[in-house]
Amino acid sequence: MGAIPAQRETDPGASDAPVHVSVLPYARAHATLVGSSLAPGAARALLRAALSEWTELGLTGTEPLTGRLADDAVVVVSELVTNAVVHAGTDVDLECRLENATGALVVEVSDQHPSRAPRDSAGEQSYGTPEYGRGLRLVAALAESWGITYRKGTKTVWARLTEEDSAAVGTGGDDGACAGVHGLELAGVLAPEPLRAERDREWLDRGALSFLAEASDLLAGQLDENLVAALAGQLIVPRLADWCAVWLEDEHMGRGGVWGVDGTGGSGPRLARVWHGHESRIEDLRQALEKDPPRPVEPPRSGPVPFPWPGDALGAHGAHGTALAYRLIAGGRPLGTLVIGRSGLLRFPDEITGLIEDLGRRVALAVGAARQYARQATISAVLQRGLLPGAVAEIPGMRSALVYEPCDKGGPSGDFYDLFPAGDGRWCFAVGDVQGKGPEAAVVIGLARPWLRLLAREGYRVADVLDRLNQLLLDDATEAADAAARALIAAGGQSLTGDGPQTRFLSLLYGELAPFDGGVRCTLASAGHPLPLLLGAGGEVRTAARPQTLLGVVEDETYTSETFELRPGDTLLAVTDGVTERRCGPRQFDDGDGLATALTGCAGLTAALIAERIRRQVHEFGVRPPEDDLALLVLQAE
């Protein structure tokens, strides 16, 4: 049987199932697994549990199940899930089912990287001990048939196993003999041919660059240092070593401590990942390595140094071997240590040590990039919290609800909101949207929001507040703010385009609420912002303001306001353009008064339910996630 995949259409592989097995009244099981090193082990456990439950329940189609068929299925699932995790790098959908008529077991493994076909080295000349490709050869040896199905955004690799195919090897003897022949055939699939040193070097000469390119591709864009450590283990074991471990150090005084000049001191590094070719050895190896962490000396260097061999943790076959430690250094800063080991060697070949050193540099750069991202995300989160109110004020006689969803989780949003007491029985609210995002937007919000509060509490009315805020955005303070934003971005990395001060626009809906017996008096003005909508108690919807110019555009612009009363049951809805301009192809959510139509259907709902319904409809309007910040405020008279 050749290892040539076939194309086949199957049931849709993509699913929104949670991360657990769901067994239906017939023999079918499905699970969604996080794309990590734990996925293959979880898949094996889930399949064993499903097969056991099917047999106990006596479901249709379970009669042909044999111990050998179940064992073969576990191997096939393990290989397919491992292939998907290593070479696709996405979450993995696993589906197993029995065909009622034939008793065949069908296994499907789907990932979200359809551009990458499973690795198969059947057509390549081997110059070493490449691990990739052998898994699919093993699948081909065990399965009656297998293949690949491509769909939009999804690739599914499937295999069909039958009782006849599992029992086809070694039919001439007893069960023990059959099992022995079966095992020998599979060992022949996996076992590498004896390699001479010159062929090993030839493989390295031909395969090193492609290996490093594949490693760089997998490591690039990983934003979690623990995931980087896990990927390093998967790349090295068993391709280049029998086992490896990754320690990570904090650059300052966080986890891991600080090394002394003599290589001691502090609490030591954190053992982030241990990987062994045999899963049963991982825990013992981890315990041994935790007792004896690497002790690098100063000054740090990335070249290999000998590491004590943890023979007691590796069993009889691993009593002797060679281990090397590589310091992970990026930007002149030590970030951790990579240790590799191989049993039965007096020393690693120079070609292997050089390849690992190159890989270590890439791992160090990936760890450094992940930490830089984590620092920037932390700074942005702190900055974002400082730009928004700590709590939304409660207004007597009114209920309020807020939805705020920044599009970029790693940087400050361009949308902002506020709801605060202004004194003298007045409360003020604001929903705004700054041109741009990130530090530029943060500077403008940092100017606008405190000024709004200050002017409101000084007694300025709605139109006067907008007049003064418009002038503030046009005077010399904006040039100073631009200089501050430039300095912040220069320190963080990304540079601004252009040489002169950046023009800053601000769309703003600002209003004042004054409760009275029987309702709430509302005065508001819209400066270039999506117009607010008023939902009456009877279900009628109308706009509650007239359009005016953006703030920060026209010198000496005079703004006006409108005043109306909110009676019990009336609802005021204020949104940013992330709601009105939500796209689905060429259409926008507010085309044909779409927002007003959505609000009409909310008659009789509370403020919280209205906010949630509008949010859900905005998300469901487009296929892809929103590409802009989203904010909406609902105010409802009780």
Question: For 625-635, how does the pLDDT look when each residue is reduced to its tens digit (9 = 90+)?
Answer: 888 888 999 99
Length reported for the chain: 638
What per-residue confidence (pLDDT) applies to 198? 57
Answer for the pair 219, 200: CB distance below 8 angstroms, yes or no.
no
CATH for 197-379 (3.40.50.1370, 3.30.390.30, 3.30.450.40, 3.30.160.250): 3.30.450.40
The residues with which 439 forms a beta bridge, in sequence order, are: none
Q: Backbone phi, then psi, for 562, in 5-degree steps?
A: -120, 145
Angle between helices 462-474 and 476-492 (to 10 degrees): 60
Q: Is the pLDDT of residue 263 over 90?
A: no
Q: Backbone phi, then psi, for 111, in 5-degree steps?
A: -135, 175
Beta strands at 415-423 and 28-33: parallel, antiparallel or unpaired: unpaired
Tally: H helices and E strands in the chain = 15, 24
| Exposure letters 1-33 (e unless 16+ CB within 10 A, then b) | eebebeeeeeeebeeeeeeebebeeebbbbbbb
Give the span between the Cα atoms of 108 and 93, in whole angstroms: 8
Instruction: Calculate the CA dihedral of residues 185, 191, 288, 40 and round it to 10 degrees.
Output: -60
For residue 318, the 8-state DSSP code is G
Count of CA atoms in the C-beta half-sphere (13 A) of 328: 29
Answer for the pair 510, 466: CB distance below 8 angstroms, yes or no.
yes
> What's the whole-number average pLDDT of the chain?
78
- Residue spans of the domains in the chain: they are 6-190, 197-379, 388-637
Highest average pLDDT, of 59-68, 116-125, 525-534, comes from: 525-534
Give the span between the Cα atoms of 440 and 429, in whole angstroms: 23
Q: Is the pLDDT of residue 258 over 60?
A: no
Question: Percent of the chain, pLDDT > 90?
Answer: 27
| pLDDT tens digits, 376-402 | 777 777 776 666 776 677 888 899 999
What per-residue confidence (pLDDT) applies to 23? 41
Give the span between the Cα atoms of 530 and 432, in whole angstroms: 10
For the ranges 110-114, 157-161, 291-295, which has the lowest average pLDDT? 110-114
Give the span between the Cα atoms of 579 and 505, in whole angstroms: 19
Q: Is the pLDDT of residue 373 over 50?
A: yes
Q: Is the pLDDT of residue 187 over 50?
A: no
Q: Is the pLDDT of residue 454 over 80?
A: yes
If one compares 58 and 277, the residue with the highest pLDDT of the two is 277
Write out the H or E segment, with its range, that includes residue 575.
Answer: strand 571-575
Measuring CA to CA, how many Å separate 402 from each of 177, 385, 431?
Answer: 70, 16, 11
Highest average pLDDT, of 202-206, 320-324, 434-438, comes from: 320-324
Give the span between the Cα atoms of 304 and 357, in whole angstroms: 7
How deeply is 268 buried, as exposed, middle or buried, from its count of CB atoms within 10 A (0-12, 13-18, 19+)?
A: middle
Task: Tell me how many degrees the CA angle 561-563-567 measures, rounded to the nearest 5.
Answer: 150
Q: Is the pLDDT of residue 508 over 90?
A: yes
What per-residue confidence (pLDDT) applies to 144? 86
Answer for the pair 314, 343: CB distance below 8 angstroms, yes or no.
yes
What per-residue confidence (pLDDT) applies to 53? 84
Answer for the pair 605, 613: CB distance below 8 angstroms, yes or no.
yes
Q: Is the pLDDT of residue 129 over 70?
A: no
| Confidence category of residue 203, pLDDT binned at 50, 70, 90 | low
What class, spelled out in words, does domain 6-190 have in CATH?
alpha beta
What per-residue confidence (pLDDT) applies to 118? 58
| Same fold: 197-379 with 388-637 | no
Give the span between the Cα atoms of 102 and 91, in whole angstroms: 31
The residues with which 273 forms a beta bridge, in sequence order, are: 246
Please give the average per-residue pLDDT across 483-512, as a whole number.
Answer: 67
Longest dimension (CA), the chain: 99
Residue type, 266: G
Judged by DSSP in three states, 233 sits in helix
The residues with which 431 forms a beta bridge, in sequence order, are: 417, 509
Answer for the pair 451, 430: CB distance below 8 angstroms, yes or no.
no
Task: Tell me how many degrees the CA angle 577-580-585 measures, rounded to the nearest 5.
Answer: 110
Closest CA relative to residue 530, chosen from 579, 563, 566: 579
Closest CA relative to residue 234, chosen from 367, 115, 83: 83
For the ranges 26-40, 61-75, 97-111, 529-543, which has the lowest average pLDDT? 61-75
Please report where in the chains the tokens 């499903």 appear, as a residue.
50
Neighbouring CB atoms inside 10 A of 198's CB total 9
Q: Is the pLDDT of residue 595 over 50?
A: yes
Which structure tokens are listed for 3? 């290892």
What per-residue confidence (pLDDT) applies to 16? 38
Q: Is the pLDDT of residue 17 over 80?
A: no
| pLDDT tens digits, 549-570 | 999 888 888 999 999 999 999 9
CA 468 to the chain's CA centroid: 43
Q: Backbone phi, then psi, for 283, in 5-degree steps?
A: -70, -45
CATH for 388-637 (3.40.1190.20, 3.60.40.10, 3.40.50.2300, 3.10.450.50): 3.60.40.10
What per-residue confidence (pLDDT) applies to 533? 95
For residue 568, the 8-state DSSP code is T
Neighbouring CB atoms inside 10 A of 99's CB total 14
| Confidence category of residue 499, pLDDT binned at 50, 70, 90 | very low
Measuring CA to CA, how many Å separate 431 from each of 91, 291, 364, 626, 637?
Answer: 37, 56, 43, 19, 19
Answer for the pair 469, 451: CB distance below 8 angstroms, yes or no.
yes
What per-residue confidence (pLDDT) applies to 427? 94
